[in-house]
Amino acid sequence: MDRRGMDRLSGLDASFLYLETPAQLMHVCAVLVVDPSTMPQPYSFPGFQSALDTRVRGLPTFLRKIRGVPLGLDHPVWVEDRNFDIERHVHRLALPSPGGYAELMELAAHFTSLPLDRSRPLWDMWVIEGYRPESAAGEERLAVLIKTHHATVDGVSGANLLSHLCALEPDAEFLPADEPPLSGDPSRGALLGRAVVDTVTKPLNLVRVVKPSVSFIANTIGRAYRGTAMAAPFSAPRTAFNGLVTGRRAIALADMSLDEIKEVKRESGATVNDVVLTIAGGALRAYLEERGELPETSLMAAVPVSVRAASHRATGSNKVSALFCKLGTDLGDPLDRLRLLAERNRYAKEHHDAIGADTLQDWAEFAAPRTFGLAVRAYAGLRLPEKHPVVHNLVISNVPGPPMPLYFMGARIEGLYPLGPVYHGSGLNITVMSNAGRVHVGAIACRRSVPDVEALALHFPRELERLRKRVAEESAAD
Protein backbone atom coordinates (compact mmCIF):
# COMPACT_ATOMS: atom_id res chain seq x y z
CA MET A 1 0.00 0.00 0.00
CA ASP A 2 1.40 3.40 -0.87
CA ARG A 3 1.72 6.42 1.38
CA ARG A 4 -1.75 7.72 0.51
CA GLY A 5 -3.56 4.55 1.54
CA MET A 6 -4.12 3.21 -2.00
CA ASP A 7 -2.81 -0.01 -3.54
CA ARG A 8 -1.34 1.70 -6.58
CA LEU A 9 0.30 -0.40 -9.28
CA SER A 10 3.97 0.32 -9.65
CA GLY A 11 5.06 1.77 -12.97
CA LEU A 12 6.59 -1.57 -13.97
CA ASP A 13 3.44 -3.51 -13.06
CA ALA A 14 1.28 -1.03 -14.95
CA SER A 15 3.57 -1.15 -17.98
CA PHE A 16 2.46 -4.72 -18.64
CA LEU A 17 -1.11 -3.44 -18.91
CA TYR A 18 -0.06 -0.68 -21.32
CA LEU A 19 2.01 -3.09 -23.44
CA GLU A 20 -0.91 -5.44 -24.01
CA THR A 21 -2.67 -5.64 -27.36
CA PRO A 22 -4.77 -8.44 -28.92
CA ALA A 23 -1.57 -9.78 -30.49
CA GLN A 24 0.82 -9.04 -27.61
CA LEU A 25 -0.81 -10.69 -24.60
CA MET A 26 0.85 -9.92 -21.29
CA HIS A 27 -0.12 -12.87 -19.12
CA VAL A 28 2.07 -15.61 -17.70
CA CYS A 29 0.88 -19.21 -17.49
CA ALA A 30 1.75 -22.55 -15.99
CA VAL A 31 0.72 -26.07 -16.93
CA LEU A 32 0.55 -28.41 -13.95
CA VAL A 33 0.27 -32.16 -14.34
CA VAL A 34 -1.01 -33.69 -11.10
CA ASP A 35 -1.90 -37.16 -9.85
CA PRO A 36 -5.44 -37.10 -8.36
CA SER A 37 -4.98 -40.53 -6.76
CA THR A 38 -3.06 -38.89 -3.88
CA MET A 39 -5.99 -36.67 -2.89
CA PRO A 40 -7.40 -37.46 0.59
CA GLN A 41 -10.91 -37.46 -0.89
CA PRO A 42 -11.67 -38.84 -4.37
CA TYR A 43 -11.43 -36.11 -6.99
CA SER A 44 -14.59 -34.31 -8.06
CA PHE A 45 -14.61 -30.96 -9.79
CA PRO A 46 -17.21 -29.38 -7.45
CA GLY A 47 -15.13 -30.43 -4.44
CA PHE A 48 -11.92 -29.16 -6.06
CA GLN A 49 -13.51 -25.83 -6.96
CA SER A 50 -15.00 -25.39 -3.48
CA ALA A 51 -11.70 -26.14 -1.74
CA LEU A 52 -9.88 -23.71 -4.03
CA ASP A 53 -12.50 -21.05 -3.31
CA THR A 54 -11.85 -21.39 0.42
CA ARG A 55 -8.11 -21.07 -0.10
CA VAL A 56 -8.00 -18.07 -2.46
CA ARG A 57 -10.30 -16.03 -0.21
CA GLY A 58 -7.37 -15.89 2.19
CA LEU A 59 -5.03 -14.59 -0.52
CA PRO A 60 -5.81 -10.94 -1.45
CA THR A 61 -3.84 -11.18 -4.73
CA PHE A 62 -6.54 -13.50 -6.10
CA LEU A 63 -9.35 -11.14 -5.08
CA ARG A 64 -8.14 -7.81 -6.44
CA LYS A 65 -8.95 -6.14 -9.74
CA ILE A 66 -7.71 -2.98 -11.40
CA ARG A 67 -9.45 0.37 -11.30
CA GLY A 68 -8.29 3.08 -13.67
CA VAL A 69 -7.57 6.66 -12.66
CA PRO A 70 -9.86 9.28 -14.26
CA LEU A 71 -8.49 10.65 -17.55
CA GLY A 72 -5.62 8.16 -17.37
CA LEU A 73 -3.55 10.66 -15.36
CA ASP A 74 -1.75 8.02 -13.31
CA HIS A 75 -1.23 4.29 -12.97
CA PRO A 76 -4.29 2.26 -11.91
CA VAL A 77 -4.95 1.02 -8.39
CA TRP A 78 -5.86 -2.40 -7.02
CA VAL A 79 -9.30 -2.69 -5.43
CA GLU A 80 -11.18 -5.63 -4.00
CA ASP A 81 -13.64 -7.40 -6.28
CA ARG A 82 -16.66 -7.42 -3.99
CA ASN A 83 -18.51 -9.65 -6.46
CA PHE A 84 -15.78 -12.26 -6.61
CA ASP A 85 -17.15 -15.60 -7.84
CA ILE A 86 -14.88 -18.64 -8.08
CA GLU A 87 -17.03 -20.02 -10.92
CA ARG A 88 -15.91 -17.14 -13.14
CA HIS A 89 -12.27 -18.10 -12.65
CA VAL A 90 -12.03 -21.88 -12.26
CA HIS A 91 -13.37 -23.89 -15.20
CA ARG A 92 -13.70 -27.56 -16.09
CA LEU A 93 -12.72 -29.15 -19.38
CA ALA A 94 -12.20 -32.65 -20.75
CA LEU A 95 -9.55 -33.56 -23.29
CA PRO A 96 -10.81 -34.99 -26.58
CA SER A 97 -9.87 -38.59 -27.38
CA PRO A 98 -7.26 -40.02 -27.07
CA GLY A 99 -6.43 -37.50 -24.33
CA GLY A 100 -2.68 -37.42 -24.93
CA TYR A 101 0.06 -34.82 -24.99
CA ALA A 102 -0.84 -33.48 -28.46
CA GLU A 103 -4.45 -32.83 -27.42
CA LEU A 104 -3.30 -31.12 -24.22
CA MET A 105 -0.91 -28.82 -26.09
CA GLU A 106 -3.61 -27.85 -28.59
CA LEU A 107 -6.07 -26.99 -25.84
CA ALA A 108 -3.51 -25.14 -23.72
CA ALA A 109 -2.33 -23.12 -26.73
CA HIS A 110 -5.91 -22.06 -27.42
CA PHE A 111 -6.50 -20.76 -23.90
CA THR A 112 -3.14 -19.01 -23.67
CA SER A 113 -4.18 -17.14 -26.84
CA LEU A 114 -7.16 -15.51 -25.08
CA PRO A 115 -6.89 -12.24 -23.11
CA LEU A 116 -7.92 -11.95 -19.48
CA ASP A 117 -11.06 -10.03 -18.55
CA ARG A 118 -9.90 -6.77 -16.92
CA SER A 119 -13.23 -6.24 -15.20
CA ARG A 120 -12.36 -9.12 -12.83
CA PRO A 121 -9.27 -10.28 -10.90
CA LEU A 122 -6.61 -10.97 -13.49
CA TRP A 123 -6.37 -14.76 -13.34
CA ASP A 124 -8.09 -17.84 -14.71
CA MET A 125 -7.69 -21.58 -14.19
CA TRP A 126 -8.79 -24.55 -16.27
CA VAL A 127 -8.94 -28.01 -14.72
CA ILE A 128 -8.48 -30.41 -17.65
CA GLU A 129 -9.69 -33.95 -17.05
CA GLY A 130 -8.85 -37.14 -18.91
CA TYR A 131 -5.18 -36.52 -19.58
CA ARG A 132 -3.25 -39.74 -20.26
CA PRO A 133 0.48 -38.97 -20.51
CA GLU A 134 2.77 -41.70 -21.79
CA SER A 135 4.86 -41.49 -18.62
CA ALA A 136 1.83 -42.54 -16.51
CA ALA A 137 1.40 -45.85 -18.34
CA GLY A 138 -2.12 -44.98 -19.44
CA GLU A 139 -3.37 -43.83 -16.03
CA GLU A 140 -5.39 -40.62 -15.97
CA ARG A 141 -3.96 -37.40 -14.67
CA LEU A 142 -5.34 -33.92 -14.22
CA ALA A 143 -3.77 -31.07 -16.11
CA VAL A 144 -4.29 -27.60 -14.66
CA LEU A 145 -3.67 -24.49 -16.77
CA ILE A 146 -3.19 -21.36 -14.68
CA LYS A 147 -3.12 -17.93 -16.33
CA THR A 148 -2.19 -14.72 -14.46
CA HIS A 149 -1.50 -11.26 -15.80
CA HIS A 150 2.11 -10.08 -15.66
CA ALA A 151 0.90 -6.95 -13.87
CA THR A 152 0.20 -9.24 -10.92
CA VAL A 153 3.30 -11.47 -10.82
CA ASP A 154 6.84 -11.92 -12.06
CA GLY A 155 8.64 -15.28 -12.12
CA VAL A 156 9.59 -15.38 -8.45
CA SER A 157 6.38 -13.87 -7.06
CA GLY A 158 4.37 -16.17 -9.32
CA ALA A 159 6.16 -19.22 -7.94
CA ASN A 160 5.62 -17.92 -4.41
CA LEU A 161 1.93 -17.32 -5.08
CA LEU A 162 1.51 -20.82 -6.45
CA SER A 163 3.21 -22.23 -3.37
CA HIS A 164 0.38 -20.83 -1.24
CA LEU A 165 -2.02 -23.11 -3.12
CA CYS A 166 0.21 -26.11 -2.43
CA ALA A 167 1.24 -28.16 0.58
CA LEU A 168 4.04 -30.56 1.48
CA GLU A 169 1.67 -33.48 2.12
CA PRO A 170 -1.67 -34.41 0.52
CA ASP A 171 -3.65 -33.50 3.65
CA ALA A 172 -1.28 -30.93 5.16
CA GLU A 173 -2.13 -27.33 5.93
CA PHE A 174 -1.45 -24.77 3.22
CA LEU A 175 1.65 -22.61 3.46
CA PRO A 176 0.66 -19.37 5.22
CA ALA A 177 0.59 -16.13 3.26
CA ASP A 178 1.75 -12.78 4.62
CA GLU A 179 -0.10 -10.58 2.13
CA PRO A 180 -1.55 -7.34 3.53
CA PRO A 181 -5.33 -6.91 3.23
CA LEU A 182 -6.70 -4.87 0.36
CA SER A 183 -7.49 -1.21 0.95
CA GLY A 184 -10.94 0.21 0.36
CA ASP A 185 -12.20 1.41 -3.01
CA PRO A 186 -11.01 5.05 -3.29
CA SER A 187 -13.30 7.80 -4.48
CA ARG A 188 -12.90 9.52 -7.85
CA GLY A 189 -11.72 12.66 -6.07
CA ALA A 190 -9.07 10.77 -4.11
CA LEU A 191 -7.76 9.17 -7.29
CA LEU A 192 -7.56 12.53 -9.06
CA GLY A 193 -5.87 14.15 -6.06
CA ARG A 194 -3.21 11.47 -5.91
CA ALA A 195 -2.66 11.70 -9.68
CA VAL A 196 -2.08 15.46 -9.46
CA VAL A 197 0.45 15.05 -6.64
CA ASP A 198 2.31 12.33 -8.55
CA THR A 199 2.38 14.44 -11.73
CA VAL A 200 3.79 17.46 -9.87
CA THR A 201 6.54 15.41 -8.18
CA LYS A 202 7.67 13.51 -11.28
CA PRO A 203 10.33 16.09 -12.29
CA LEU A 204 11.93 15.68 -8.86
CA ASN A 205 11.92 11.91 -9.23
CA LEU A 206 13.46 12.21 -12.69
CA VAL A 207 16.51 13.93 -11.22
CA ARG A 208 16.85 11.03 -8.77
CA VAL A 209 16.93 8.33 -11.45
CA VAL A 210 19.06 10.14 -14.05
CA LYS A 211 22.23 10.23 -11.93
CA PRO A 212 22.63 6.44 -11.43
CA SER A 213 21.71 5.88 -15.07
CA VAL A 214 24.48 8.21 -16.25
CA SER A 215 26.89 6.41 -13.93
CA PHE A 216 25.86 3.08 -15.42
CA ILE A 217 26.43 4.35 -18.97
CA ALA A 218 29.94 5.45 -18.02
CA ASN A 219 30.54 2.04 -16.43
CA THR A 220 29.29 0.32 -19.60
CA ILE A 221 31.69 2.30 -21.80
CA GLY A 222 34.59 1.30 -19.58
CA ARG A 223 33.57 -2.37 -19.61
CA ALA A 224 33.16 -2.34 -23.38
CA TYR A 225 36.70 -0.97 -23.71
CA ARG A 226 38.04 -3.75 -21.44
CA GLY A 227 35.94 -6.45 -23.11
CA THR A 228 33.98 -7.27 -19.93
CA ALA A 229 30.57 -5.80 -20.84
CA MET A 230 27.46 -7.91 -21.26
CA ALA A 231 26.19 -8.47 -24.80
CA ALA A 232 24.80 -5.29 -26.32
CA PRO A 233 21.13 -5.13 -27.34
CA PHE A 234 20.32 -4.44 -31.00
CA SER A 235 23.21 -6.70 -32.04
CA ALA A 236 21.32 -9.98 -32.50
CA PRO A 237 20.95 -11.70 -35.89
CA ARG A 238 17.47 -11.83 -37.40
CA THR A 239 15.53 -15.10 -37.27
CA ALA A 240 11.99 -16.16 -38.17
CA PHE A 241 10.79 -15.34 -34.66
CA ASN A 242 11.99 -11.73 -34.68
CA GLY A 243 9.14 -9.88 -36.32
CA LEU A 244 5.56 -8.98 -35.51
CA VAL A 245 3.62 -11.52 -33.47
CA THR A 246 -0.02 -12.54 -33.82
CA GLY A 247 -2.36 -13.50 -30.98
CA ARG A 248 -2.14 -17.25 -31.71
CA ARG A 249 0.23 -19.28 -29.55
CA ALA A 250 1.99 -22.65 -29.81
CA ILE A 251 3.21 -24.53 -26.74
CA ALA A 252 5.59 -27.42 -26.08
CA LEU A 253 6.94 -28.97 -22.87
CA ALA A 254 10.07 -30.94 -22.02
CA ASP A 255 11.68 -32.56 -18.99
CA MET A 256 15.28 -32.98 -17.86
CA SER A 257 17.00 -34.46 -14.81
CA LEU A 258 18.20 -31.92 -12.25
CA ASP A 259 20.81 -34.42 -11.00
CA GLU A 260 22.28 -34.68 -14.51
CA ILE A 261 22.44 -30.89 -14.81
CA LYS A 262 24.13 -30.66 -11.41
CA GLU A 263 26.56 -33.38 -12.50
CA VAL A 264 27.63 -31.21 -15.44
CA LYS A 265 27.86 -28.24 -13.07
CA ARG A 266 30.19 -30.10 -10.69
CA GLU A 267 32.43 -31.53 -13.41
CA SER A 268 32.74 -28.28 -15.36
CA GLY A 269 32.84 -25.71 -12.55
CA ALA A 270 30.02 -23.78 -14.20
CA THR A 271 26.72 -22.75 -12.61
CA VAL A 272 23.33 -24.36 -13.09
CA ASN A 273 22.25 -21.27 -15.02
CA ASP A 274 25.31 -21.61 -17.30
CA VAL A 275 24.36 -25.22 -18.01
CA VAL A 276 20.70 -24.37 -18.70
CA LEU A 277 21.64 -21.58 -21.12
CA THR A 278 24.17 -23.85 -22.84
CA ILE A 279 21.46 -26.48 -23.36
CA ALA A 280 19.08 -23.81 -24.68
CA GLY A 281 21.76 -22.56 -27.08
CA GLY A 282 22.33 -26.08 -28.36
CA ALA A 283 18.61 -26.74 -28.77
CA LEU A 284 18.15 -23.52 -30.73
CA ARG A 285 21.16 -24.29 -32.89
CA ALA A 286 19.84 -27.77 -33.73
CA TYR A 287 16.32 -26.45 -34.39
CA LEU A 288 17.48 -23.71 -36.76
CA GLU A 289 20.06 -25.92 -38.43
CA GLU A 290 17.37 -28.49 -39.28
CA ARG A 291 15.52 -25.74 -41.13
CA GLY A 292 18.54 -24.26 -42.87
CA GLU A 293 18.01 -21.02 -40.90
CA LEU A 294 20.99 -20.97 -38.51
CA PRO A 295 22.64 -17.50 -38.50
CA GLU A 296 26.40 -17.28 -38.68
CA THR A 297 26.54 -15.16 -35.54
CA SER A 298 25.22 -16.19 -32.13
CA LEU A 299 21.63 -15.73 -31.05
CA MET A 300 21.10 -13.49 -28.04
CA ALA A 301 18.66 -13.97 -25.19
CA ALA A 302 17.19 -11.51 -22.72
CA VAL A 303 17.44 -13.21 -19.33
CA PRO A 304 15.16 -11.82 -16.59
CA VAL A 305 16.90 -11.39 -13.23
CA SER A 306 15.05 -11.07 -9.94
CA VAL A 307 16.12 -8.04 -7.87
CA ARG A 308 13.67 -8.82 -5.08
CA ALA A 309 16.39 -9.35 -2.47
CA ALA A 310 18.19 -6.11 -3.32
CA SER A 311 15.15 -3.90 -4.02
CA HIS A 312 14.34 -1.07 -1.62
CA ARG A 313 10.76 -0.85 -2.86
CA ALA A 314 8.14 -2.20 -0.47
CA THR A 315 5.42 -2.32 -3.12
CA GLY A 316 5.12 -3.72 -6.62
CA SER A 317 4.58 -7.27 -7.86
CA ASN A 318 7.33 -7.15 -10.50
CA LYS A 319 10.82 -6.70 -9.10
CA VAL A 320 12.92 -7.74 -12.02
CA SER A 321 15.67 -6.55 -14.30
CA ALA A 322 17.32 -8.25 -17.27
CA LEU A 323 20.70 -9.02 -18.73
CA PHE A 324 21.60 -9.94 -22.30
CA CYS A 325 23.46 -13.12 -23.11
CA LYS A 326 24.82 -14.53 -26.37
CA LEU A 327 23.98 -18.25 -26.44
CA GLY A 328 26.90 -19.61 -28.46
CA THR A 329 24.68 -20.95 -31.23
CA ASP A 330 27.61 -20.39 -33.59
CA LEU A 331 29.57 -23.15 -31.76
CA GLY A 332 28.96 -26.81 -32.57
CA ASP A 333 30.78 -28.28 -29.56
CA PRO A 334 28.54 -28.10 -26.43
CA LEU A 335 31.54 -28.01 -24.09
CA ASP A 336 33.08 -25.06 -25.94
CA ARG A 337 29.69 -23.38 -25.69
CA LEU A 338 29.52 -24.00 -21.93
CA ARG A 339 32.98 -22.58 -21.32
CA LEU A 340 32.24 -19.49 -23.35
CA LEU A 341 28.86 -18.94 -21.68
CA ALA A 342 30.34 -19.38 -18.19
CA GLU A 343 32.80 -16.57 -18.91
CA ARG A 344 30.24 -14.33 -20.61
CA ASN A 345 27.67 -14.86 -17.87
CA ARG A 346 30.20 -13.91 -15.21
CA TYR A 347 30.90 -10.64 -17.00
CA ALA A 348 27.19 -10.08 -17.66
CA LYS A 349 26.30 -10.60 -14.01
CA GLU A 350 29.04 -8.22 -12.84
CA HIS A 351 27.87 -5.67 -15.41
CA HIS A 352 24.23 -6.14 -14.41
CA ASP A 353 25.05 -5.76 -10.71
CA ALA A 354 26.40 -2.30 -11.48
CA ILE A 355 22.81 -1.27 -12.27
CA GLY A 356 20.75 -0.18 -9.28
CA ALA A 357 18.26 -2.87 -8.28
CA ASP A 358 15.34 -0.48 -8.67
CA THR A 359 16.49 1.33 -11.83
CA LEU A 360 14.04 -0.35 -14.20
CA GLN A 361 11.19 0.15 -11.74
CA ASP A 362 12.15 3.80 -11.24
CA TRP A 363 12.17 4.54 -14.99
CA ALA A 364 8.90 2.67 -15.47
CA GLU A 365 7.16 5.19 -13.20
CA PHE A 366 7.35 7.64 -16.10
CA ALA A 367 5.31 5.41 -18.42
CA ALA A 368 2.25 7.53 -19.23
CA PRO A 369 -0.84 5.31 -19.61
CA ARG A 370 -2.23 6.83 -22.80
CA THR A 371 0.97 7.68 -24.65
CA PHE A 372 2.57 4.33 -23.77
CA GLY A 373 -0.37 2.41 -25.22
CA LEU A 374 -0.42 4.55 -28.37
CA ALA A 375 3.31 4.05 -28.82
CA VAL A 376 2.93 0.26 -28.63
CA ARG A 377 0.22 0.28 -31.27
CA ALA A 378 2.20 2.60 -33.53
CA TYR A 379 5.26 0.36 -33.11
CA ALA A 380 3.30 -2.62 -34.41
CA GLY A 381 1.29 -0.66 -36.99
CA LEU A 382 4.45 0.70 -38.64
CA ARG A 383 5.97 -2.84 -38.54
CA LEU A 384 9.05 -1.45 -36.82
CA PRO A 385 10.14 -4.82 -35.33
CA GLU A 386 10.80 -5.97 -38.90
CA LYS A 387 12.82 -2.87 -39.78
CA HIS A 388 15.14 -1.92 -36.93
CA PRO A 389 18.07 -4.12 -35.76
CA VAL A 390 16.98 -7.06 -33.59
CA VAL A 391 17.08 -6.16 -29.89
CA HIS A 392 17.30 -9.80 -28.78
CA ASN A 393 16.08 -13.06 -30.27
CA LEU A 394 14.10 -14.54 -27.39
CA VAL A 395 13.53 -14.51 -23.65
CA ILE A 396 14.91 -17.31 -21.46
CA SER A 397 13.99 -17.49 -17.76
CA ASN A 398 15.38 -19.89 -15.16
CA VAL A 399 13.19 -19.99 -12.04
CA PRO A 400 14.35 -22.12 -9.09
CA GLY A 401 11.50 -24.17 -7.67
CA PRO A 402 11.03 -26.21 -4.50
CA PRO A 403 13.35 -29.22 -4.13
CA MET A 404 10.68 -31.36 -2.48
CA PRO A 405 7.42 -32.80 -3.91
CA LEU A 406 4.40 -30.51 -3.67
CA TYR A 407 0.69 -31.31 -3.57
CA PHE A 408 -1.80 -29.06 -5.34
CA MET A 409 -5.16 -29.33 -3.59
CA GLY A 410 -3.98 -32.76 -2.40
CA ALA A 411 -2.85 -34.01 -5.83
CA ARG A 412 0.87 -34.63 -6.23
CA ILE A 413 2.52 -32.36 -8.81
CA GLU A 414 4.34 -34.42 -11.43
CA GLY A 415 5.06 -31.58 -13.83
CA LEU A 416 5.20 -27.80 -13.39
CA TYR A 417 5.78 -26.02 -16.69
CA PRO A 418 5.93 -22.20 -16.69
CA LEU A 419 5.10 -20.16 -19.81
CA GLY A 420 6.00 -16.48 -20.24
CA PRO A 421 4.73 -13.84 -22.67
CA VAL A 422 6.04 -13.18 -26.18
CA TYR A 423 6.54 -9.74 -27.66
CA HIS A 424 6.71 -8.01 -31.01
CA GLY A 425 10.27 -8.61 -32.17
CA SER A 426 10.73 -11.60 -29.84
CA GLY A 427 8.16 -14.27 -30.63
CA LEU A 428 9.66 -17.07 -28.53
CA ASN A 429 9.84 -17.48 -24.74
CA ILE A 430 11.49 -20.38 -22.91
CA THR A 431 11.04 -20.74 -19.16
CA VAL A 432 12.75 -23.39 -17.06
CA MET A 433 11.72 -24.37 -13.54
CA SER A 434 13.05 -27.05 -11.22
CA ASN A 435 10.88 -29.11 -8.90
CA ALA A 436 11.56 -32.27 -6.89
CA GLY A 437 14.59 -33.38 -8.88
CA ARG A 438 13.22 -32.56 -12.33
CA VAL A 439 13.72 -29.56 -14.58
CA HIS A 440 10.58 -28.63 -16.45
CA VAL A 441 10.85 -26.63 -19.69
CA GLY A 442 7.97 -24.58 -21.05
CA ALA A 443 8.30 -23.15 -24.55
CA ILE A 444 5.68 -20.77 -25.91
CA ALA A 445 5.79 -18.97 -29.23
CA CYS A 446 3.80 -17.06 -31.77
CA ARG A 447 2.41 -19.86 -33.91
CA ARG A 448 3.23 -18.04 -37.13
CA SER A 449 6.84 -17.38 -36.09
CA VAL A 450 7.60 -20.84 -34.66
CA PRO A 451 5.03 -23.23 -36.15
CA ASP A 452 6.78 -26.36 -34.80
CA VAL A 453 7.84 -25.40 -31.29
CA GLU A 454 7.59 -29.08 -30.31
CA ALA A 455 10.65 -29.82 -32.46
CA LEU A 456 12.58 -27.22 -30.45
CA ALA A 457 11.47 -28.62 -27.08
CA LEU A 458 12.56 -32.15 -28.04
CA HIS A 459 16.14 -30.93 -28.42
CA PHE A 460 16.47 -29.95 -24.74
CA PRO A 461 16.97 -33.44 -23.24
CA ARG A 462 19.06 -34.38 -26.29
CA GLU A 463 21.36 -31.42 -25.77
CA LEU A 464 21.75 -32.24 -22.08
CA GLU A 465 22.89 -35.75 -23.04
CA ARG A 466 25.34 -34.37 -25.62
CA LEU A 467 26.78 -31.99 -23.04
CA ARG A 468 27.11 -34.75 -20.42
CA LYS A 469 29.02 -36.94 -22.85
CA ARG A 470 31.44 -34.14 -23.78
CA VAL A 471 32.07 -33.28 -20.13
CA ALA A 472 32.66 -36.98 -19.34
CA GLU A 473 35.07 -37.30 -22.27
CA GLU A 474 36.99 -34.26 -21.11
CA SER A 475 37.18 -35.56 -17.54
CA ALA A 476 38.41 -38.96 -18.74
CA ALA A 477 41.11 -37.33 -20.86
CA ASP A 478 42.52 -35.31 -17.92
Question: Mind telling me the catalytic residues?
Answer: 150
Q: How far apart are CA 95 and CA 229, in angstroms?
A: 49
N-to-C CA span, the chain? 58
The full 3-state SS of the chain, as one line of letters, equals: CCCCCCEECCHHHHHHHHCCCCCCCCEEEEEEEEEHHHCCCCCCHHHHHHHHHHHHCCCHHHHEEEECCHHHCCCCEEEECCCCCHHHCEEEEECCCCCCHHHHHHHHHHHHCCCCCCCCCCEEEEEEEEECCHHHCCCCEEEEEEEEECCCCCHHHHHHHHHCCEECCCCCCCCCCCCCCCCCCCCHHHHHHHHHHHHHHHHHHHHHHHHHHHHHHHHHHHHHHHCCCCCCCCCECCCCCCCCCCCCEEEEEEEEEHHHHHHHHHHHCCCHHHHHHHHHHHHHHHHHHHCCCCCCCCCEEEEEEECCCCCCCCCCCCCEEEEEEECCCCCCCHHHHHHHHHHHHHHHHHHHHCCCCCHHHHHHCCCCHHHHHHHHHHHHHCCHHHCCCECCCEEEEEECCCCCCCEECCEEEEEEEEECCCECCECEEEEEEEECCEEEEEEEEECCCCCCHHHHHHHHHHHHHHHHHHHHHHHHHC
Burial 376-401 (b: 16+ CB within 10 A, else e): beebbeeeebeeeebbbbbbbbbbeb
Angle between helices 272-290 and 334-353 (to 10 degrees): 120
CA distances from 100 to 18, 95, 107, 110 (A): 37, 8, 11, 16
In DSSP terms, which residues pair with 79 in a beta bridge?
65
For residue 419, which phi and psi values (nearest 5 degrees)? -140, 120
Separation CA 477–CA 468 (nearest Å): 14
Distance, CA of 315 to CA of 77 (rounded, Å): 12
